[in-house]
Structure 1
Amino acid sequence: MRIGIYSKVALAISFLVAGSEASAPLFSLTDSDPTSQEFKRNYLGSYGINAAIEPRLQPEDRETYDAVLPHLNSDLEEAIRILVDWVEPESNAAFNFLLGSLYYMKERMDESEIELKLAIEKHPSFRRAHRTLALVYAHRDDVPKVIEHLLKVVALGGGDGQSYGMLGYGYLREERYRSALGAYQSARVFAPDSFDYKRGEAQCLLNTKQYEQAVALYDELITDSPSNPEFWLLQGNALLALDRREETAANLEMARSLGGETFENLSLLANIYIQNESIGLGAEVAASSMQHAKPGDADVAMRQLEYLIRGRYWEEASGLATAFEKWLEPKLEANQAREFAALCAAIDLGLGRNKVGIGVLEKVLEEDPLNGTSLLLLGKHYMESNKYEESEYYYERVLSVESFRR
């Protein structure tokens, strides 16, 4: 038989971030944002043609190249006009690439894609054309195509920090964490202090359960940005996975002081305190969590309340119930409201307010005759009051509740 609220309640320690175990929200890019002007300048580099790995200019190409060259750093529209007038279907792929790059710089992405694809069709190993086409797809948020062309860049010997960084972010968005980790580690060979690359690598370490390494890298990120609560929380994930709960609690408290208060974070902090037998502190934090709770959080909150009741921490449970009533009760569904009423009645019984508690439980049973928690509480109350017939009556009714028979 299931023993309801007096059974052992396992307050499962969950990770701080919703979703899969140890996952984290995708972060916004800062120093490696492919849409930034600085990134474009650094990534595209010179418009000159690298004859060693790209289509060679033939003598007949020189006139076009010399005509457009003076405008590349001063008047991109004029450079585009010249190329549009002069470039023909059979022209050198280098000019398609150049025109596609200029269109990209002017954010004319459709035209850029057409020219870059023509360049690659004419010269499949055109590395810089693959690089720039990857950027076009990055602007369109087409992650699979970004990855496809960046892999071409790497295969053609163009594995620089920016390419590996973009590749890592693409893999991260597709939740291919091991691939993303390898790409970010390669990117950091070129730019070891990049904030984005550190952040990406740390997130991948967390998602691949390499918790010791994740803790160490989050130390660096916290040093770089000590007022960012997210880093304290994510490092807390790793510390919790290593069962370093006191350090986890310290991280949660730091995040809390920096404005990182959510129901999930505070609920976890409360669980840690309660399991470490700091009951008063845990109940206080749990009560604070209620103002951040959403309707879907009610069951978790009631499990915390149930835990305190099971331990007979009546005053702490009463304080938590008051906070629950203020912040969450208006959001409850009918069955949750009855369950909460039964838990409040358990507190009343524990504090000696028997008449109030019994009245609430009987009212719950009027609405829901198979409310197992209420039946169990009444059975236990009458047993402790030596009213065995009444106790047996309620215990027998509990046996008719499917979920309480196991």
Structure 2
Amino acid sequence: MYCCTKYESSYPAAMGSALAACGEYVSKGSLVLMYALCSASMLIVNKWALLHFPVPAMVTLLQCGSTALIVVLVRATGLLKVEPVSWSVVRSFLSVPVLFALALYTSSQLLHYADAGLQILIRTTTPVVVCIADHLIMGYELPSARSAAALFGLLGGAAFYFRIETHITPAAVFWGALYFISISVEMVWVKSVINRVPMSTWIRVLITNAVTALFLTPFCLLQPERGKLVERLRGTVPPTLVGAAAVTTSCIAGFALSFFGFKLRESVSATTFTFVGVVCKFATVLVNQMIWVHHGSSVGAAVLCTSILLSTMYVAPKKVESAYADTSEKPSLTDPARGRLQQIEAADVDDDDAHDENSMLVVRSIVAEPVRGAAGKGAHGAASAADGGPNGDERRASDCCRCEPSR
């Protein structure tokens, strides 16, 4: 009888693990690229839309409403298989659209009272708060000395920018502070909810944008939003094709950003997601300086680029090992096979290597269980289970070939 060697039996599993890791890398790389393109262009598109339609709450409402409508229409046509939405699911995910709405509204108000550079700089300082929250809430390690230097460099760049940009108004400072608080809380809390509440990406996009649209509706009726909206509706300020194109483009960009944003959040930590958003602002700064008249000074742009470069030096800390990582708490190979199967089912392991390893533990438990039972029960069945019996040698040889070829 041929007995495969240990290396021959593990080679297919190792090859499958390498292919799976390669696929995961390509998938995450594609998500990072798509999210970076959407995030870098969204700020410019929003500024373009607000120049022709200066009603921030209404622009945000149109973006969220159109995104939710796209998901509903695609689902109704049967092109997209989406699980049904119940009130319990919406309630468990309700905090996400509320924070999302606050972040969007404060961002649009900040763009209305300041240039895009100020919003970019505020976004670059959010990793300072996110990394601390990751440590306290998500269980990540504290930043290293290099990472701490990068974070303090961001704070220094922010202080220097406020010093040289003297045209910043009190309204811009007010909305900038609100935007900083809302976006920092949103980054960490949304990741924690995604980890705790399982659902598809399309449902997250639908619930978030639909609830956000409802949440932003009252803001469209407040002053000065209402006065600007009434002027457009009455025809006092005639609409233009360029304005309609700008708003439509912002809606399309908002849909893409929402989808790829949730997909990326599912794959990476809150700190990594924040830094991806920060680094992709390079293109935003360059485009903002090239095509807009409404931008800061060249010195301010240099400070922005320096701050973003410092942010790329930050190395995200690893997650602290859980208490289960201690080998003394891991189940031994002598545990019952039934408990091992229940453990695998409860863990719902997706990784092929981990699944193969757990399966090997189950088989070994099944093989070892009769031996333990024979040793403890006495004479009846002990001989056939351990050494004696008509089929004992054949069974052990078969088990050796299937499970432990190295013996």
Question: Which protein has the bigger helix share?
Answer: 2
Higher relative contact order (CA 8 A, sep 6+): 2
Q: Greater CA radius of gyration, 1 or 2?
A: 1
Is the structural similarity TM-score above 0.5? no
Q: TM-score, normalised by structure 1?
A: 0.27
Q: TM-score, normalised by structure 2?
A: 0.27
